[in-house]
Amino acid sequence: MEIEKTFWEHLDDLRGNLIGIFVCLVIAFVISFVFKDILFSIVFYPTEESFLTYKLIGIKPVKVQMISTEISTQMMTHLKTALVFAIILSSPYIIKSLFSFISPALYEKEKKYSFRLILASYLLFVLGTAVNYFIIFPVTFNFLADYQVSSKVVTLVSLQSYTQTLLMMTLVFGIVFEIPVLSWLLARFGLLKYRFMKRYRKHAVVVILIAAAIITPTSDIFTLSVVFFPIWLLYEASILIVKRVGARKIKA
């Protein structure tokens, strides 16, 4: 027979999970920071001719010179990049720890749905980061780096600009790819309907355009379009997901 825990015992469990998460983050950060060459070979890989995407579509990346304009830029970039990679590396353990904390309060059916939801969320987040890293960012970077107003102007890319754009877009696309999961969850609770999403599809397109403009690190139409279309496709996929959830509820 399972004995119900007191509030303080739950608090101790939470503290233990948070300490474990913190330790895992610290270890992952140290590893990411120490293996600097591997870390930045991943970061700068989209600028290399051997990059997988370029080899598949048969193009050569634009050659640009990377510069550091401030004395502390390289150190701060190293720290920020290592921290982001530490969070990514630790994310499976973080998710597992949080789920293990809340799972005792769930029924068996709820545990099953929760596990599926968490797994789908994580896989979509990974997919979003991969889509940005292998497709969105390389296309955007090469277009902007190759764009010239005059042959007299030489393109120099700052280290801070490059890493911030890559890391921000990677994080944003990881979050954006959670739209189908969020739509499914809202539909399950009856807070989102297929007819509503279909009726306000045009309004959603405008909202997506505004969101893409906010997300886009530059102000050019090309990058805006590259960011807009994946989000729009995710919205269309979410409409189908909500429709399917609604149909299942009617059958039940």
The mean pLDDT of the chain is 84
Percentage of the chain surpassing pLDDT 70? 89
User: 129 to each of 6, 62, 88, 137, how far by Cα in Å?
Assistant: 40, 22, 10, 10
Q: What is the pLDDT of residue 80?
A: 93
Residue written as token pair 């997988």: 52
Percentage of the chain surpassing pLDDT 90? 24
Query: CA–CA separation, 110 vs 15, rounded Å?
Result: 24
- pLDDT band for 5, please (50, 70, 90 cuts): low
Report pLDDT digits (tens) over 11-52.
Answer: 777 788 889 999 999 999 999 999 999 999 999 999 888 898
Report pLDDT digits (tens) over 166-206.
Answer: 988 888 888 888 888 888 878 877 888 888 888 888 999 99
Neighbouring CB atoms inside 10 A of 173's CB total 24
Crossing angle between the packed helical segments 201-215 and 159-176, to the nearest 10 degrees:
150
